[in-house]
Amino acid sequence: MSVQKPSLPKGTRDFGPVQMARRNYILNTIKETFSLFGFQQIETPAMENLSTLTGKYGDEGDQLLFKILNSGDFLKNVEPSDLEKGTSAMLPKVSEKGLRYDLTVPFARYVVMNRNDITFPFKRYQIQPVWRADRPQRGRYREFYQCDADVVGTDSLVCELEILLMIKRVFSKLGITDYSIKINNRKILTGLSEVIGEKGREGELCVAIDKLDKIGWEKVQEELNQRGFGERSIELLSPIITLKADNHKKLDFLKGFLSSSETGLKGLQEIQEVIQLLETFGETQDHVDFDVVLARGLTYYTGAIFEVKVHNVSIGSVSGGGRYDNLTGVFGLEGVSGVGFSFGVDRIYDVMEELGLFPEQHADQTKVLITYFDKSGFDYGLRILNRLRQAGIASELYPDEAKIKKQFTYADKKQIPYVLILGDNEIKEKNVSLKNLISGEQEVLSVEEMISRVC
């Protein structure tokens, strides 16, 4: 029988102890911030009905859904004619479920199904993996974690303010200092499409503009041409693309540019109010960048949109979100406004690794290893182990009778700072020899003295 070489699906990863400790360092910082701001944690299943997921992320998003084959004989309902009709005829008959693409749509479903038990406004956070059938590359995975915080049941722009504040707090705690929180409003993009004479085409405009960072203005113009946008429309859009100024000057410029669009001016007013709330709160506009061409491709945003980029690293955006007034309406609950955003933990991890921002003591670490020479040392060691753990000290007893050198090598490799050596004298006197592997010092202490020393 041939031995199978183990492998992982492309775009997925294992996380060892060091990576998990670093991930938990990020996650705990985010969780602590979410809790501080009054958000409560929920979880939803990894799989959802495809009917829940499809049609919520635009055509491109639908293509990236991982579908799950029905259990059992999944071909039993398929007719030969279905094969000729192609995927659209086949899919509903072989697959009813899919892996979740994000946490926002499952959250909307959760709100609708639990609306009688929820206190509105409902502030929830959710930290779970999501799956996308994307082409894997650096910073882009097929399985990755999202950390979402959403508020539903209020139109208040205080929610948008709190998103800015949470991002600032998390990045400050993680030591990330060179970044921008780009903010815009979908109503402004609707206004732009009206002003350039392409009313009702803001969706197509957003899809094209969303690629500006990746392909540049020239290529975006080509795409707009291909989509049927007129030369005059593209020409009118040009000053917006090249607009460089501080937040207040951009607002002033757009008041004139969007003067003929009521919707555009409403979006502008909302941006202005969020910036004013930031100042009233006592926080600066540092890192906050009103980006008129920020578009974000997802179709369900209706108000504010956010995207966070760390500068001078090879990773793209590390966080994003926005306001979605109509999302729960798809599931039969009208008039519930929501706003939320997501931290991309995997990307933040890559950024912090690239910038060398992780603290040195990052592994979940044993503090004390108990070593011994024989069975009586092992028995005495078990009693000491009990005392150490009762004192809340992470500790281990070496499991096998082995040469003391081998036990010390184990401590070295696991970077355990303290070793207890239990010989005949220590057992007889009911004390311990404590060796500090960092300084090399060794001393004989009572069990109580040893516990207070290593605490």
Q: Which of 303, 307, 283 is nearest to 294 (CA)?
A: 307
As beta bridge partners, residue 319 has 308, 343
Domain shared by 110 and 147, yes or no:
yes
Three-state SS at 304:
strand
pLDDT at position 300 over 80: no
Strand (E) or helix (H) holding 381:
helix 375-390
Q: Which of 293, 339, 345 is nearest to 318 (CA)?
A: 345
pLDDT at position 137 over 90: no
Structure-token match 């609306």, residue found: 115
In a domain, 215, yes or no: no
Q: What is the pLDDT of residue 139?
A: 65
Using the 3D structure, point to which of 355, 383, 406 is the last residue of a domain.
Answer: 355
Using the 3D structure, point to which of 355, 380, 399 is the last residue of a domain.
Answer: 355
- Name the residue range of residue 437's domain: 368-454
Q: What is the pLDDT of residue 364?
A: 72
pLDDT at position 314 over 60: yes
- Predicted TM-score of the model (pTM): 0.86
In a domain, 257, yes or no: yes
Domain shared by 302 and 434, yes or no:
no
Domain shared by 449 and 322, yes or no:
no
In a domain, 403, yes or no: yes
In a domain, 162, yes or no: yes
Number of structural domains in the chain? 2
In a domain, 298, yes or no: yes
Pairing state of beta strands 304-310 and 179-185? antiparallel
Instruction: Take residue 301 and report the two structure tokens written for it.
Output: 């945003």
What average pLDDT does this structure show over 415-434? 97
Annotated binding site for L-histidine: 102-104, 132, 146, 150, 296, 300-301
Domain shared by 156 and 45, yes or no:
yes
Q: What is the pLDDT of residue 363?
A: 62
Exposure letters 202-214 (e unless 16+ CB within 10 A, then b): bebbbbbbbebee
pLDDT band for position 362 (cuts 50, 70, 90): low
Task: Tell me what percent of the residues of the chain surpass a pLDDT of 90.
Answer: 70
User: What CATH number is attached to the domain comprising 407?
Assistant: 3.40.50.800
Q: Is 180:168 a contact under the CB 8 Å cutoff?
A: no
Distance CA 90, CA 211 (A): 32
Instruction: Take residue 18 and report the two structure tokens written for it.
Output: 């060091």
pLDDT band for position 104 (cuts 50, 70, 90): confident
Domain shared by 201 and 65, yes or no:
yes
81 or 455: which leads in pLDDT: 455
What average pLDDT does this structure show over 215-222? 90
Using the 3D structure, point to which of 300, 331, 355 is the last residue of a domain.
Answer: 355
* Residue 63 phi, psi dihedral angles, 5° rounding: -65, -25
In a domain, 124, yes or no: yes
In a domain, 136, yes or no: yes
DSSP 121: S
| Average pLDDT, rounded, for the chain | 92
Domain shared by 245 and 389, yes or no:
no
| Other C-beta atoms lying within 10 Å of the C-beta of residue 318 | 26
Distance CA 359, CA 379 (A): 37
Domain shared by 79 and 169, yes or no:
yes
Domain shared by 301 and 427, yes or no:
no
In a domain, 75, yes or no: yes
Domain shared by 161 and 243, yes or no:
yes
Distance CA 190, CA 201 (A): 8
| pLDDT digit string, tens, across residues 18-27 | 899 999 999 9
Domain shared by 32 and 174, yes or no:
yes
pLDDT at position 129 over 60: yes
User: What CATH number is attached to the domain comprising 115?
Assistant: 3.30.930.10
Q: What is the pLDDT of residue 397?
A: 98
Domain shared by 174 and 278, yes or no:
yes
Domain shared by 182 and 305, yes or no:
yes
| pLDDT digit string, tens, across residues 270-297 | 999 999 999 999 999 999 999 998 987 5
